[in-house]
Structure 1
Amino acid sequence: MVCGGFTCSRNALCSLNVVYMLVGLLLIGVAAWGKGFGLVSSIHIIGGGIAVGVFLLLIAIVGLVGAIHHHQVMLFFYMVILFIVFLFQFGISCSCLAMNRGQQETLLSGTWRVLNNKTKTDLEVQLNCCGLLNVTSKQAQFEQDLRDCPAICKKSGSCFACGDIMLNHATEVLKILGGVGLFFSFTEILGVWLAVRYRNQKDPRANPSAFL
């Protein structure tokens, strides 16, 4: 059965906005999980994921209130902002999924170089690792970091490189964030279409001479 009535359109739009609220919370939670672990704080895409999640949550609240009250102005701004969020979310999600390990290593290496010694020490203690990456091109730096490493694993002589731990976790976070964001970004087009349709429908309970 085609959902063409006023009540059906309103219920569909309200339900969709509840889903958007849940998706926004999920995006914020996954991105915050990645940042809170202390590994991907330098990757700006994670910050972008949090920003998109917050905006999606806020616009879903606006859309929900506008749908319940059939508020013309709120629905108009909801349509415009939701379309903008779709563009940003689509771009960020594609970036998350397209970022390979080499690009992550480049970002991580650049950040590691500018970190102060205290921050590096805190990361090594938190993750129980030493140095960034144990690769030939960075062997001298890794050995220097290993000598200064305060991690407990150093006593046993079996420390992993912090970069390997960070990259494994970052890859997992980026895949989840990109996949969820990409899947639900297409539903935002449905939200825009529903809002346009619902905004132009007449409320059967309103004054027949009221301005649409």
Structure 2
Amino acid sequence: MMCGYYCTKHSLTALNVLYVLVSVLLLGVASWGSLFALVSSVQVVGGIMGVGCFLFVVAFMGLCGALRHNQILLFFYMLILFVVFVMQFSVSCASLTLSKQQQDHLLEVGWNRSEVTQRDVERTLNCCGFTHINNSTCTASCLKEALSCQPCSDIITRYTGNILRFVGGIALFFSFTEILGVWLAYRFRNLKDPRKPPGAFL
């Protein structure tokens, strides 16, 4: 009984400490990219920071629930983590099974959606336009140095498959840690604190 309670408590605490570290890493990467102007798109930086803040809040809720054996916090933590697991598992499976045509279509849709992202990609990869070179709006150094520029799609599509497999694999791995967190929270909620009197509620 003692081992079951404390082992589950420490496992749940360790898992949430890992989530806190990942959330701090996400916030640090977003801040670093924004500070050094590596990514000038407010939507991209805001999205990464939003995910980092959300993960931090959920992990903090799990930590408080584990340390205090709080039934309400553990219930909402378990519920939120299960919803996140379903969404993340679905997205990771989709990213691992996208065909080449679907990848190209998604890239083009993303390219056309934000001019700021276009400029970032052109500057970083030293390319112009998505499928056709556009001299009037291109900011790549290959135009300024009178070099031959190539469309960005030629460069991006070389790495898209590998990146999607890598990101999908990481997301799939973390989705299994989330279902582990749901199971640990469920188990911990139903374990009685051995320090409490025998007749007391959980």
TM class by shorter-chain length?
0.7 to 0.9
* Counterpart among 149, 157, 160 of residue 147 in structure 2: 157
| Letter of the structure 2 residue corresponding to residue 152 of structure 1 | S
**2:198 matched to 1:200?**
no
| Letter of the structure 2 residue corresponding to residue 63 of structure 1 | G
Give the distance between the partners of 2:163 and 2:29, measured in 1 at CA: 7
Percent identity of the aligned residues?
47
Distance 1:170 1:123, change over 3 A: same
Which residue of structure 1 lines up, in the alignment, with residue 65 of structure 2?
66
Q: Is the 8 A contact 1:17 1:63 kept in 2?
A: yes
| Letter of the structure 1 residue corresponding to residue 192 of structure 2 | K
Superimposed CA distance per residue, residues 69-89 of structure 1 (whole angstroms, 9 cap, x where no aligned partner): 111111111111111111011
Give the distance between the partners of 2:86 and 2:32, measured in 1 at CA: 24
Which residue of structure 2 lines up, in the alignment, with residue 94 of structure 1?
93
Q: CA deviation at 1:124?
A: 3.2
* Counterpart among 171, 178, 183 of residue 168 in structure 2: 178
What is the number of equivalent residue pairs in this alignment?
197
Which residue of structure 2 lines up, in the alignment, with residue 139 of structure 1?
none
Give the distance between the partners of 1:42 and 1:29, measured in 2 at CA: 16
Distance 1:121 1:12, change over 3 A: closer
Structure 1 unaligned segments of length 5 or more: list them: 134-141
Distance 1:115 1:86, change over 3 A: closer
Q: Is the 8 A contact 2:24 2:52 kept in 1?
A: yes
Structure 2 unaligned segments of length 5 or more: list them: none
Cα RMSD after superposing both structures: 3.9
Moved more, 121-130 or 100-109: 121-130
Give the distance between the partners of 2:40 and 2:126, measured in 1 at CA: 13
Give the distance between the partners of 1:158 and 1:23, measured in 2 at CA: 41
Distance 1:156 1:70, change over 3 A: same
| Letter of the structure 2 residue corresponding to residue 19 of structure 1 | L
Q: CA deviation at 1:207?
A: 3.8
Moved more, 99-108 or 12-21: 99-108
TM-score by length of 1: 0.71
| Letter of the structure 1 residue corresponding to residue 152 of structure 2 | C
After the TM superposition, which residues 59-138 of structure 1 pair with which residues of structure 2 at under 5 Å, given as runs?
A: 59-113=58-112, 120=118, 123-133=121-131
